[in-house]
Amino acid sequence: MIECLSGRIEHVAAGYISVQIGGIGYKVFCPNPFAYRAGSETKVYTYQYVREDILALYGFSSRQERDMFIKLLNVSGIGPKGAMAIMAYGQPEQVACAIEDEDERFLTKFPGVGKKTARQIILDLKGKLADFTNGVPVTEGLFSNDSFTDEASAQLDEAVEALIVLGYAKKEIQKILPDLKKETGTADEYVKRALRKLMTV
């Protein structure tokens, strides 16, 4: 099994990125591909999905994201598409805490997850996610605007570009920017936070 890929991003498209390593291009399906930049070097943690008629690579920015994806695949009725949709909108620790707390309302906010699926996720995974919660708070530390660095600003700009490509209007994005600036993070993290906020607008 391929643990991870380190190489140059050749192409970014809806649903996937192409990572070039040693003259070979690997098509890697990602939760938020537009958080990556074509031409940059990257490392993605991968899961190789193999079925009779399918051979696909799924990539994530951290092992924790990848491992949560694998856990979700073990839920009855959830395939790669459903698991990817959940990972695109939620951080692993948030998903884990919702499952442990049996928070169906939170889980049904994810695309394609109804009450029946939420109950199944809880039934199959509750009590098996200690590595993801581990006493870590769901919310990240808050920062004042004074500590919003140039690097954070650049990451936020990348996230805004990704949201526009995903079809969100600039007016919609502008409404949530003040909230996004309260926390620093990578472009991928900003995209996820933005998507969660846009779901509730």
pLDDT the model gives residue 109? 85
Domain with 68, as residue range(s), is 63-133
pLDDT tens per residue, range 123-138:
999 999 988 876 544 4
Phi, psi of 184 (to 5 degrees): -90, 160
Confidence band for 155, pLDDT divided at 50, 70 and 90? confident
| Domain limit, last residue, from 110, 133, 156 | 133
CATH of the domain at 120: 1.10.150.20
Tell me whether residue 140 is in a domain.
no
Using an 8 Å Cβ cutoff, are 11 and 34 in contact?
no
Using an 8 Å Cβ cutoff, are 29 and 46 in contact?
no
Q: In terms of DSSP H, where are the helices of the chain?
A: 63-73, 80-89, 92-100, 104-107, 115-125, 130-133, 150-165, 170-180, 187-200
Number of domains, the chain: 3
CATH of the domain at 32: 2.40.50.140
pLDDT over threshold 50, residue 25 = yes
Tell me whether residue 160 is in a domain.
yes
User: What's the pTM?
Assistant: 0.68
Q: Using alpha carbons, select from 155, 165, 159, 190 the residue that is nearest to residue 15.
A: 165
Residues 83 and 24 in one domain: no
Tell me whether residue 138 is in a domain.
no
Q: Hey, which residues does 4 pair with through a beta bridge? A: 45
Q: What percent of the chain is modeled with pLDDT above 70?
A: 91
